[in-house]
Amino acid sequence: MDCCAELSQTAAIAPSRQALLEAFQQVLMQGVYWRGVEAIMNLVAKAPRFPEALPWLKKQVLEGRRSRVYREALEAIAQHYHDDLATLPWLKDCFQADQQEDVRSAVVSAIEFFYSNDLDEQMRQSVQIFV
């Protein structure tokens, strides 16, 4: 991913990036240890100019109910895409869509860290419950 990020003609290597994301997906499905999950999510998130990066991370959130993958993907999105106007509403939608306590806690943590002024009252109460 770092090598791909250094290339200026990103369209020319799109198949290679897609193959790399598929390889990462396979590694995640095999149950990689937690530091490996964190490393993968951060590698992908650090390549925001690649059109495949954010959709792939969101897919990890939407499909990855294993808490480590979910949490790391959420944190990577919040950290590396917090300037994107669509990120905060998307995170809030994730909070509303899931009733699992650990999943909601991950969303609240990401929002609290990167958007502390944008927590609504329901989320603020959730923070107090989870802490």
Could you report the per-residue pLDDT of 12-59, keeping only the tens digit for each?
777 888 888 888 888 877 776 667 787 888 788 877 567 888 888 888
Residue 120: pLDDT above 80? Answer: no
Which pLDDT value is given to residue 131? Answer: 43
Give the pLDDT band (50/70/90) at residue 119. low
- Cβ-in-10-Å burial (0-12, 13-18, 19+) of 25 comes to middle
Specify the CATH number for 2-130; select among 2.40.50, 1.10.150, 1.25.40, 2.60.120. Answer: 1.25.40
pTM: predicted TM-score of the whole model, two decimal places: 0.73
Which pLDDT value is given to residue 51? Answer: 80
High-pLDDT (> 90) share of the chain, %:
0
Return the minimum-mean-pLDDT range out of 37-46, 80-89, 104-113, 114-123: 114-123
The whole-angstrom separation of Cα 4 and Cα 47 is: 8
| Domain coordinates in residue numbering, the chain | 2-130
